[in-house]
């Protein structure tokens, strides 16, 4: 592993929207909740049609179709307001640590403690716990080669650190 590998960037609106859209696929509970609400609205609208409440049925179908776009807008606004205070972000892999820095300060994570790394086309998600992730837009790297190098070094560092941890625990 190299001594130090860094990427710095500022979040854009497109990054935030990509995170919201990509994270929809990762949060199974939310997806099921939205699907169940949509199905309930559709079932209720069918019932309304059977009892000849057509306007109410149309309203319920309209609401069912709005669940996903409304969820995306709410998630986007929440994430955008949380990231609004961030200016420059820097992520560095150094000495078996991931250092996440911003204008708010730095956080240090031992690579052995990182839960997983998920790569999507626009975003790298670095899960520091089961529910908390940092994200780096792929566009932050100057080239695809630099992005691949960062991801490879991070995954390799995590693998090696976890292997060393297991060996220490087995002693």
Q: What is the pLDDT of residue 155?
A: 93
**pLDDT at site 104:** 82
Instruction: Map out the domains of the chain with their CATH numbers.
Output: 4-11+85-170 (2.30.29.30), 15-83 (no CATH)
Reduced DSSP (H G I as helix, E B as strand, rest coil) percent helix, strand, coil of the chain, to 5: 55, 25, 20
Identify the helix (H) or strand (E) that includes residue 113: none
In whole angstroms, what is the distance from residue 114 CA to residue 130 CA?
9
Which pLDDT score, from 0 to 100, does residue 1 have?
47
Which pLDDT belongs to residue 86? 66
User: Residue 108: what pLDDT?
Assistant: 94
Residue 156: the pLDDT is: 93
Q: Give pairs for 92-97: CB < 8 Å, separation 24+.
A: 92/4, 92/5, 92/6, 93/1, 93/2, 93/4, 93/5, 93/6, 93/150, 93/153, 93/154, 93/157, 94/3, 94/4, 94/5, 96/157, 96/161
Looking at the whole model, is its pTM more than 0.75? no
* pLDDT score of 2: 46
Instruction: List the chain pLDDT tens, one digit each, 171 residues.
Output: 445 688 998 888 888 888 887 876 656 677 777 778 888 888 888 888 889 888 888 888 888 888 778 877 888 887 777 776 666 889 999 988 999 998 888 999 999 999 999 988 899 999 998 888 899 999 999 888 999 999 999 999 999 999 988 888 887
């Amino acid at each position: 592993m190299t001594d130090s590998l860094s990427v710095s960037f500022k979040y854009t609106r497109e990054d935030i929207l990509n995170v919201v859209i990509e994270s929809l696929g990762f949060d199974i509970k939310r997806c099921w909740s939205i699907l169940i609400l949509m199905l309930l609205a559709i079932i209720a609208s069918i019932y309304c049609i059977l009892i000849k409440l057509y306007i109410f049925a149309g309203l319920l179908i309209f609401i069912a179709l709005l669940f996903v776009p409304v969820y995306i807008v709410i998630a986007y606004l929440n994430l955008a307001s949380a990231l609004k205070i961030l200016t420059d972000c820097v992520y560095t892999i150094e000495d078996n640590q991931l250092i996440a820095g911003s204008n708010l300060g730095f956080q240090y994570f031992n690579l052995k403690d990182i839960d997983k790394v998920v790569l999507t086309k626009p975003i790298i998600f670095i899960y520091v716990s089961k529910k908390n992730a940092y994200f780096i837009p792929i566009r932050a790297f100057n080239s695809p080669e630099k992005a691949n190098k960062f991801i490879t070094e991070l995954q390799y560092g995590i693998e090696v650190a976890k292997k060393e941890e297991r060996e220490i625990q087995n002693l």
